[in-house]
A and B are shown apart, each in its own frame.
Chain A
Amino acid sequence: MTIEEDSSGVPAVPEERATDGITATGVSRKFGQVHAVEDMDFHAPAGKVTALIGPNGAGKTTLLLMLASLLAPDSGAVSVGGLDPQRDRAAVRSRIGWMPDTLGVWESLTAREILTQMARFYRLPAAGIGQRVAEMLDRVRLADLADQPARVLSRGQQQRLSLARALIHDPSVLLLDEPASGLDPGSRVELRIMLRQLAQEGKAVVVSSHVLSELDEIADGAVFVNKGRTVKQQTTEEAHAAGRRYAISATDGAALAAKLHELGLAFRQEDGRRPAVSLVLFNDDDAARLLRDLVLAGVPVSSFAPASGALEETYMNLEGERR
């Protein structure tokens, strides 16, 4: 029942690249001697949430800057709905919404003024701007604070304002750099729901993060990057299929260990606060069967739960390979 880690190792690049969504092919970018991004491939299809996952300094932000058409790749190409940012700058810009990791809020302006200005910068028709701004303020629940200067907004509120700012021109591609950092759990759930909605509306949503438990719930697929390279590209289903680590604890640890030995399962003693063991299970059926076996065998199981998200599992495995 235990499995070997997915040993293919080769970045899974889909053969046919649709013109929808946003695609980067073999992009490289270096800053001086530092290769921030090297020959990276990335594809985020329309209507899906794609997670961009990697440790700090892996090149996530650099890749997002290139996708956002702010930074030109040294080599390789970026395509937004089939358009090249270098040549069709305006067309690409009006399709991209970008939320940077630094919030960058004009502090003395009110939320309404900020969104109005952004609408003007995107040359939305003047007549509709007021209504569009009110709509966006409602959507990110800032209508009550619309006429407060942005500096009095909390971090979470500023983050929501930043999201509204990225959405003001109804882009078809949404690039979010660490959107969940600094958000309280309630706001995270809200963000998650909103991103799912946006994907359902047909937008290609790219979320970079290293908070993996969250991405499990929202992302349809993930691109793992490390040291400036695409390490792996997989859907969340694939990640789930690759097995998931479960943590089991029992009031009688010895009995648990004995039973697992008896079942012939490889497991690992976890050195957490509570004594527990963990092991990788293929799927939910395996988990259900194991739990039943343990309980029937009289093992006093006190907890039985996934130890980590599916994406986290992949991430940690990749990290392990690197070491």
Chain B
Amino acid sequence: MNIMTWSSLNAGVATPEIFLLCATCAILLIDVFLSDAKRHISYVLTLAALVATGCLLVAGYSLQPQLAFNGMFIADPLASLSKLGMVVGVILMLVYGRGYAAVRGLFRGELFTLTLCALLGMMVMASAVNFVVLYVGLELLSLSLYALVALQRTSSRSTEAAMKYFILGALASGLLLYGMSMVYGATQSLDVFVIAQKIAHDEANRLLTVFGIVFIVTGLGFKLGAVPFHMWAPDVYDGAPTLVSQLIGSAPKVAAFAFIMRILAQALEGFAFDWRSMLMVLAVLSLVIGNVTAIAQVNIKRMFAYSTISHMGFLLLGIMAATPGGYAAAFFYAMTYMLTAAAGFGLIMLLSREGFEADQIADFRGLNKRSPWFAAMMLIVMFSMAGIPVFIGFFAKLAIIQALVGLGLVWLAVIAVLMSVIGAFYYLRVVKVMYFEDPTDTAPIAAGADAKLVLSVNCLLLLVLGMAPDRLLTALTTALQFSLHPGL
């Protein structure tokens, strides 16, 4: 029997999470005593809590991994950096979505507490090194997201989207759990490092483990929205309030990357041969179906959903390479995609106003005449997603393709490039609509100054990072080196 001591608990390692949980509870209580007119106080408190969590993460950053909670929780550079990315993603969502939420009656305490709980779930996913904790973190994120999608309860589309998301999400959790239970049966451990060790020493039941991996990859595919498990994504992105779509489309992708790293790259590294081929199928299908279907969309939120599917294909290609270079490229892709998607959804919310959703591509008509600055910002986002040089999206794709070519998988690289070219079509169509068509909607842009400022910084960052991608890439590569092979 393990006796818990203060040193085996080592709770100081999880200070950001503990602080975030306490802050969430405090905001939950404070919000009850606020009238609707004073709701902005909870908003400011939420932002303050997020910024403080970010500061704690930066202050606690160290290259040496530290275990806590009896070896169930790890604070390594991979976890710290991805958590920092998630915190930024959630801050962006709240800043962009404030005006949007206010005019739709969503500016309520539950929006803040559920968002913070979702963030806590993501942070746990990034740090957990035990299958139980990994699963609980994932459920914390998923449950918060289901509720957030349904938050606009008068809208039947939101409710429908939430129902679909909930049912498919529950199915995916079940599959994932089933797979985990098989791996547990085969290795008799839930601990990521013990499982890796048992597999390395050939003490794991091969048949059962591979069987479990099939279920785990299927569950992950559902959660990521990779083809053929992508059916929920367009409906959820379209039906959810845009700020929730932004939340689903940005920060959780970073969490999903860390989650996949823990399960596939750390625990099941010894079976890389088996899960690589599964990921390859998912990645190629996602690239093809995501890009081709996106062409047919007239709703920009649905277009983003299909574009996310194709981007997840790229992410999976990086993980599938199963080399340090491939992992680093995928990490870089997840982080930069988070920023790009946040900006994209931010621009949709910028153009939305009371009683009007700018969710059709046609709503962007003649944006250049209405606001040349934001047309330029949208141009940056679209070019970055399409992977046009100078913008960050190009370097993200380049890093993945380099990793693939380095492995000799040239045919995969060719498919990825071809599909990017097809994808460029629908991104460029948005640009064409903005610059070469006349505006049909001439209302002034209603968003607040704070959202406009942060959005501009966000978009310019895509350009600036694109000019100097090396530093970020090097930082992420070092982080992964120290996380995946501690003791280097």
A-B complex is real: no
